[in-house]
Structure 1
Amino acid sequence: MIIDTLNITHFGRFHQASLRLSPGINVVYGENEAGKSTLHQFIQAMLFGVERLRGKASRKDEYARFQPWEQGKNYEGSMVIEHEGEMYRLTRNFYKEDEYFRVEQLRTGKEILLPGGQMDHLVDGLNRTNFRNTLSIGQLESSIDARFGLTLQAYMANVQRTKNQDIDLQRTLDYLRKEKKARFDRSPERQLQNLKVQAETMEAETDQYQKLLEEIQQQKTMLEHVRSQRQAERQTGRESRKRERQERMEAIRLIEENNYVAAQYQQKKAAYDRLKHQAAEEDFDVMKEQWDAANEEYDDLSDRYGQLMGRNLAILFSVMMFGLIPVVAVFFLKNNPLVRVGILLVFIALLAVTALLLQMGRKRMGLRVSESKENLDELHDEMEQHMFGRGGREMLRQMKEELQALREQYEQLQIPLQPYLEKYGDDISLDMEAEEDDEMLEVLRQKEESLTKSLERLFVRKETFEQKEEERESLEMDIQRLSEEVREEQEQAGIIDECMTIIRDLSEEIHSDFGPALNTEVSKMIWELTGGKYERVVVDNELNLRVDTGERFVDCDQLSTGTREQLYLALRLAMVKLLFPKKDVPVIFDDSFVFYDDRRLARTLSWIGSQGFAQVILFTCQHREMDALERMGVEYTPIYMD
């Protein structure tokens, strides 16, 4: 393929511009900012279109960079090429709203339909990737995309083995990577992890739910107990109030009877006292002194008789204690049973004699007290007989008996009345209605109300937990489903990894097939370009270069910039020969020799001229290339840009 004419209708800075190119070497000269790179880009755009990016990157993509300066909708051009003896016109409109690509055969005027608008259906091997990595060589752009190594390997393998150049290992690897990434992005694994975290949280809530059920049961039991206790308390309260009312009625009856007896006693006592004071006696004082002496004697004997009982017990206790000491000593010191029994009998006899003596003394004292009491009563009767006479004494005696009877009746009433007075106090009445709702019932009522409200809250929580339990069951089903999907995705990812491994292994095998030929071709070219300084170059499957200096292999990056540019130039042109064996394609250099000295430049241009490429297009902003070609007598076509 040879480029014949460039018709730049609207592209970048150019408007209605035209440029004719010739077979062989074309040197296009122009100063900086003359538009050389725009022409270079126009050639690529006519062959493969203008790349457009998305998002923010679209502001600086090729489409934006080379839009016509006049900002119209016309963004177009055409290019005439020659291929295998036929002339074709390529026409493109790059405007995104009306984009089209048309190929016409000039001899027949027939439009050539290229599937997908791809130029490699017209020129074998001519696609954007091959063009950028082989035919198009810019300043400081001699190095090659490492991924192009797989493309080159696949292309060579397809041509050599299957005679089909459509298989692309790099494209296959890119597809597999994208598919793996897409599967990873679509993979529910992250969603599965989130669901598992939710499930763990819900599992903890399930434990709380069980505790809640236990708490509800406890609260129910407590509530039933409180209600039963309150009901029992009510029943007990009714019975207690009934019993209390009966007790109060009985107490009131006893109090009324007690008051009646007391009133009768007071009346009788007053009459008795009046009767006693009406009497008179002559020797009352003498008899009174005798009665006082007898009464004093009686009191003294009574006191001594009362104290005698305590003193007798103290004496008996002392005798028992002092007698017990030798008994205990004998029991511990003498092992003879007879001695022990004897001493015990002596001790009992001593206690019995002592008790008998004390009892006899107490009996004698009792007789004296009785005699003193009889004497006192006789003196009292004599005083009454002397005071009242026989009739008065009989009345006085009768009144005294009545008083005694009333006193005994009063004292008898105090026995049943005293517990009621202690329980209800002196002011006893039947007014009990104010005590119906007592303190205990109020406490139980409040407790029952509190438990009821607590149960209501617990039941609300229970409903919430039951809803979450349903959600948890649904979540477990989702986890099971997603786990199965994740397992399938992992299996698919494993298959993709295996495919990628197989493709890489295949690329190694392919490289081993055509790699030696590439190494030989690059080594031959670099030997010619460097004047025999380097004669062997090794290229790996990622198109990295290493040079054999005779002592060791040196990476390309360790060499000077000029030598490195020559190495990549040799690699590119070697791949051109492999991809396009007929060399019927244009090779474009865009200020590619700025780092070459004059001798290296002359040798490189001479070698390029000797390779027999159908067309070489050399863009430059210097005259060195044309001067060197003229000195060497190499034919070329000069083109000047205004």
Structure 2
Amino acid sequence: MKILDIYINGFGKFHGRNLTFGDGLNIVYGKNEAGKSTIHTFIRGMLFGIERQRGRASKNDLYTKYEPWENSGTYEGQIRLEHKEHIYRIERTFQKNKKEFKIVDETAGREIEPTKAFLDDLLCGLSETAYINTVSIGQLKSATDEGMVSELKNYIANLNNTGNLALNITKAAAFLKSQRKELEAQMVPEAARTYTSLLSEIRNTEKEISSPEYENQITEYQKLRTEVKTALEKKQAEKEELIKKVARGRQVLSSNQFTDLDSINDYSVKAQENFDEYMEAKEACSKKPRKVFSILSLMVATMLLCGVGVLYYLGESNYFTAYYGLDLLLLMGVFVGAAIIFYLIGLLLFLKLKHSQKDMEMSAKILQEILSRHLGNTEISTEAIRAFQARMAEFSRLCSAVVKSESAVTQKAAEIEELQKKQEGFGESIEKQQKSQWELEKKLEHLSNCKTQAEGLKHILGENDRIREEISAIDLALETMTSLSSSIRDSFGLYLNRTASDLIAGITGGIYTSMSVDENLNVFLNTKTKLVPLEQVSSGTMDQVYLALRLAAATLIQEGSERMPLIFDDSFVLYDDDRLRTALRWLVGTYSDQIIIFTCHQREAQMLTANLIPYHLVEI
């Protein structure tokens, strides 16, 4: 498998960045903090995906570390690969809310479903753990972690058992154990006692469901509730009609400024009183003698005053003094007194007449207003007052009808409340019946289950012996497989040693020619006198040995004729120039597939150029 190019559209510091790789050896040069490790991680994410951790772990996980610095809404990219003469384009969106993963076969011009079988083939059989511990080598990380131990053990055990990777012993053992658990779950050690208990439960349940409380009366209660509901709706309609009638009556009374029967009666009485006063005043004003007497009295009073003037003018020679011998002053006093009396009588009659006219006008004004409001006519007459009284009688009847309707509304409300109580009572009864029927259904279901279990127990009692025999067979198979698997896995170092020893001589320039690896991937270098633990050699040699171990593991694990590219991320910082030159020559000669070396130094390119070793340079 070969990486052709990558396109980063939101990953760490990169946005819209494209890099192209060639066949064979690729040198990716960039200064410190240029983003080499970001590109390395991007390739890993495109091949295997990046999952966000949960809880506190999410603060420092790979997903959070490489979230885009800018335009956080875009967290995605593409990688193009060549595998088995086909070019594939992998597209991934890492954003947690809109994750997408698509593979397009550009050679065939169609989208490929990313099944596990296809991905295993595309990735040369490497899991992410195997990838990290073999072909992907980070800064100062040639050594493998513990996860690689189980990967290698399981791989070699499967390879020795079956000759391929189709069978996983761990999964096979797990399957047998799950089968054993299923068989154990099918067994009922106390089937007879359980069966007896079920029969007792069946009898008790059948007795309970035959009791009267479980008799179904829902239909009857529903019928009664429907009848009450119909009556209630009728009463409510009647009540609404009465309320409208009362409202209309009250509106009529209110528009005529009446509140109750007393206000109507008071208004009628006052109107009659005004009419009577009007008639009396009119009659008083229409009497002529009163007007005549008033005028005559005033005239007599005037004449008497004139007579007083005449007497004063004539003096003692006036008729009454001359012939009758009356005293002049006394006579003048009599005339003046009589004039005053007649003047007062006339004035009183005049004032009384004016008062009668004023009373008549005031009564007429009030009556005209009353008659105009209720009859639409201002003419004052006995017929008009009778029509008014008839109108007031209508208002009285309307008020009585309103009061009666209000009483009827109160009565309807009481009847409606009583019907609502009945309806609620029927509803509670129906709910109680439904609950009772639900309990009955549960009991029937329980009874059915008990009978089913009892019937099943009959078969289980006969199956227990057969199940025990199968469990014994599974236990024997597990024991045998575990024993053989342990023996095979314990010897996996032989396979790894053989491949790693072929590589160690080349990478160390012949200083070491053999190495041994135990089951926990502890490494020892073979010398003529003793086995030297890896911890006792220099860090540079240790890094070389771990690199050989990685390549040996990669050779063992990768399936098929194609292999994944080797990727180094500043992995040679501990190498001196001689060791680096040897390592580069060895890598090119040993690994014929694609190699990508990320470096912040220019010495790798300079050494390759000096030794006429072809390479493809990528600068970032």
TM-score with structure 2 setting the length: 0.49
Structure 1 or 2, whichever has the larger Rg, is 1
Q: TM-score, normalised by structure 1?
A: 0.47
